[in-house]
Chains A and B, each alone.
Chain A
């Protein structure tokens, strides 16, 4: 399952990243494998998304969220 497929309010654990060129950025923002993320907000037009990661809100575009593999809790 991908982060982009989560429904609003669902929490999942990050498994891995499929795009190498974005991996470093994800890591730096605190999105590491093993971290729990909650999909907190979805923009009115379905994109971008906002996730709660270790207590702060991070917004990312769907196209980028499609490359994050997650496992539902």
Chain B
């Protein structure tokens, strides 16, 4: 299935395939091609591929070039036996351009006039019989949204299709020319041969050649449109107006004041939902894993295996599943906004502002979703068509303070020794919390400006965006989108998160020396001699274990690196364990100070009482607390984000670059904060 963006192709694909679809990534690109087995009543099976929406087979980007490959290359394993071209019946002229190009490739082809209800509403009538005769292929009219003629479409998918006799462009005969250069193009038709020559020039050709070919392609498009005009004159009526309701909504949605207010309101609803609605299922997931953990603890004998099951495997699984509620909720909203046509209006009213920061209008929603969680936010950048803008959005989104940083901020703000009010009136807590969130926003915008200088886009082909008429979103479509997003997260990013959780379990449970074994024996002795009760002994043991584990040694090893920021090895350990998820900081601090994980009051007391052995002042002084918060605000301390950036960019280059850039920024930010504040306090 091939077609323009916004022609309703994905809806058709969803109807035909349901939940059994698979997504495969085109190697080396971020383009996903969905495919699914489809069977008919007679037991025939075909595999249906849903190519990403394109306006023509002339690639607008390198990614599109590769996505078109199965169509252009007859040797390609996914070269179709039958192309179903889906077009928007209310905008036939532009949609048919792609059809005429595909027809010239000489493949069996069929035409689906989708959105026929909207066309009828606009007063456009098309003579299907005439169109079939002119094109020489099967044409059907459907409306995926209203489920009209879907059965006919299902039957069509199993047919073999016809080669179209509608030719509006006479390609040059290159075969003879290239034969002299020893290149054999005889197995291709003239138009296929031309595409192969174009493609090779796009990749390796000289600039001069590219320019000539660009001209040729433009002339070709012009010829095609002329032929389409002639075709439509015979077979269809024209309407140059848009839906009246769309005109009215657009007046509001792009209004200088109301437009932004509507957007802010929608944003508020989305953000609140991702933040608050997700809390309940997340709580349930945590509870379920907690119960499973205690069940396994009771059943299994003490030892490595139990520890691996509970702290490694179960923790790893919950670390993946915990993100699903937020992903599903955010994508439900995004699908509604996208499906209804509103998303392109967001882009329209915010494009100019975001351009200043190296992004575009579509970057706003991912950035703001980042305040709930960077994982779904980064996954949602797929709506950004421009590759460079999308990459920058992915790179800067993790700077926005996510909900996992909140417990860290709250703990640190609660122990910070400030006793005066800011400006005499304001509570320092609210002020500091807001400052942390603002720091994230500013850093991400500045990072956007900086990155846009370095990430060069070689293929600026203008910024064109179709703004489709408004439509009622379809529940089924939204449900399938959410399901697929959650599935792809679990299978692609989930694997990495799971493995890293197990690695971290290993690092925190085992040490390079026999010290842990010794400690266990010592503690057992102390319990026997009643020096300690069991609970105290457990807390003491886990605190000591953390110190003598690999993670503990690692924390000590990085101490010289974090000393300039005011941190000691204990904070170092917490920084490392925070990689599972930032909120682990709180639990990690609790373990180090030998108090129960839920015991927020005692963690605070112990941390406040901690004395710095050198200065003999409280360890968690104002400079240290603020410096630590700045570090958490700016550092990339999240395995899941790294995994998701890898999934979305299909390269380790970007997550590694991001990790390095964010770590350096965090270190410099913390260092500056610590030294500045140390001077004053």
Please pick, from A23, A29, A50, the residue contacting B55 in the complex, using a CB distance under 8 A.
A29
Answer yes or no: B518 CB below 8 A from chain A CBs: no
Q: A residues near B, CB below 8 A?
A: 20-30, 32, 36, 40-41, 43-48, 50, 52, 54-61, 64
Extra 8 A-B pairs, beta carbons < 8 Å, given A24-B217, A30-B93: A27-B221, A28-B97, A43-B254, A43-B348, A44-B255, A45-B349, A56-B468, A57-B469
Answer yes or no: B126 CB below 8 A from chain A CBs: no
- Of the A-B pairs whose beta carbons lie under 8 Å apart in the complex, a sample of 19, sorted by A's number, is A20-B211, A24-B214, A24-B218, A28-B97, A28-B221, A30-B97, A36-B240, A44-B255, A44-B349, A47-B351, A48-B348, A48-B351, A48-B463, A54-B93, A56-B94, A57-B242, A57-B246, A57-B468, A64-B462
A22 CA to B466 CA in the complex, in Å? 16
Answer yes or no: B284 CB below 8 A from chain A CBs: no
Please pick, from B239, B467, B469, the residue contacting A59 in the complex, using a CB distance under 8 A.
B467
Tell whether A59 pairs with B260 under 8 Å between CB atoms, given A28-B58, A28-B221, A41-B250.
no
B169 to chain A, nearest CB (A): 13
A60 to chain B, nearest CB (A): 5
Contacts of B217 in A (CB 8 A): 24
A56 CA to B222 CA in the complex, in Å? 19
Q: Is the CB of A57 within 8 A of B94?
A: no
Which residue from chain A places its CB closest to the CB of B460 in the assembled complex?
A: A21
Q: Is the CB of B254 within 8 A of A44?
A: yes
Contacts of B426 in A (CB 8 A): none
Q: Is the CB of B462 within 8 A of A45?
A: no
> Which 10 A/B pairs are nearest by Cβ-Cβ distance?
A44-B256, A57-B467, A30-B94, A27-B221, A45-B352, A59-B465, A55-B240, A24-B218, A28-B56, A22-B462
A26 CA to B97 CA in the complex, in Å? 13
Contacts of A26 in B (CB 8 A): 462, 464
Answer yes or no: B535 CB below 8 A from chain A CBs: no
Q: Is the CB of A55 within 8 A of B467?
A: no
Q: Is the CB of A24 within 8 A of B464?
A: no
Contacts of B351 in A (CB 8 A): 43, 47-48, 61
Answer yes or no: B122 CB below 8 A from chain A CBs: yes
Select the residue from B239, B349, B467 with max chain A CB neighbours within 10 A. Answer: B467
Answer yes or no: B215 CB below 8 A from chain A CBs: yes
Answer yes or no: B344 CB below 8 A from chain A CBs: yes
A64 CA to B465 CA in the complex, in Å? 12
Please pick, from B122, B353, B462, B467, the residue contacting A50 in the complex, using a CB distance under 8 A.
B467
Contacts of A32 in B (CB 8 A): 222, 225
Select the residue from B60, B240, B469 with max chain A CB neighbours within 10 A. Answer: B240
A58 CA to B347 CA in the complex, in Å? 12
Tell whether A48 pairs with B352 under 8 Å between CB atoms, given A20-B211, A28-B221, A55-B242.
yes
Within 8 A of A (CB), among B52-70: 55-56, 58, 60
Which residue from chain A places its CB closest to the CB of B240 in the assembled complex?
A: A55
A52 CA to B122 CA in the complex, in Å? 15
B497 to chain A, nearest CB (A): 38
Within 8 A of A (CB), among B235-270: 238-242, 246, 250, 254-256, 259-260
Contacts of A20 in B (CB 8 A): 211, 214-215
Q: B residues near A, CB below 8 A?
A: 55-56, 58, 60, 90-91, 93-94, 97, 122, 211, 214-215, 217-218, 221-222, 225, 238-242, 246, 250, 254-256, 259-260, 344, 347-349, 351-353, 461-469
Q: Is the CB of A50 within 8 A of B241?
A: no
A59 CA to B218 CA in the complex, in Å? 21
Q: Is the CB of B348 within 8 A of A24?
A: no
Please pick, from B260, B349, B353, B461, the residue contacting A25 in the complex, using a CB distance under 8 A.
B461
A62 CA to B179 CA in the complex, in Å? 46
Which residue from chain B places its CB closest to the CB of A57 in the assembled complex?
A: B467
A57 to chain B, nearest CB (A): 4
A45 CA to B461 CA in the complex, in Å? 23
B601 to chain A, nearest CB (A): 50
Q: Is the CB of B225 within 8 A of A30?
A: yes
A28 CA to B344 CA in the complex, in Å? 19
A55 to chain B, nearest CB (A): 5
Q: Is the CB of A41 within 8 A of B348?
A: yes
A57 CA to B241 CA in the complex, in Å? 10
Q: Is the CB of A58 within 8 A of B465?
A: yes
Contacts of A54 in B (CB 8 A): 91, 93-94, 238, 240
A61 CA to B93 CA in the complex, in Å? 23
A35 to chain B, nearest CB (A): 9
A57 CA to B460 CA in the complex, in Å? 21
Which residue from chain A places its CB closest to the CB of B351 in the assembled complex?
A: A48
Q: Is the CB of A58 within 8 A of B463?
A: no
Which residue from chain A places its CB closest to the CB of B347 in the assembled complex?
A: A59
A29 to chain B, nearest CB (A): 5
Please pick, from A23, A56, A61, A64, the residue contacting B466 in the complex, using a CB distance under 8 A.
A56
A42 to chain B, nearest CB (A): 8
B345 to chain A, nearest CB (A): 9
Select the residue from B94, B221, B256, B464 with max chain A CB neighbours within 10 A. Answer: B464
Which residue from chain A places its CB closest to the CB of B459 in the assembled complex?
A: A21
Please pick, from A24, A27, A56, the residue contacting B242 in the complex, using a CB distance under 8 A.
A56
Select the residue from B58, B90, B122, B221 with max chain A CB neighbours within 10 A. Answer: B221
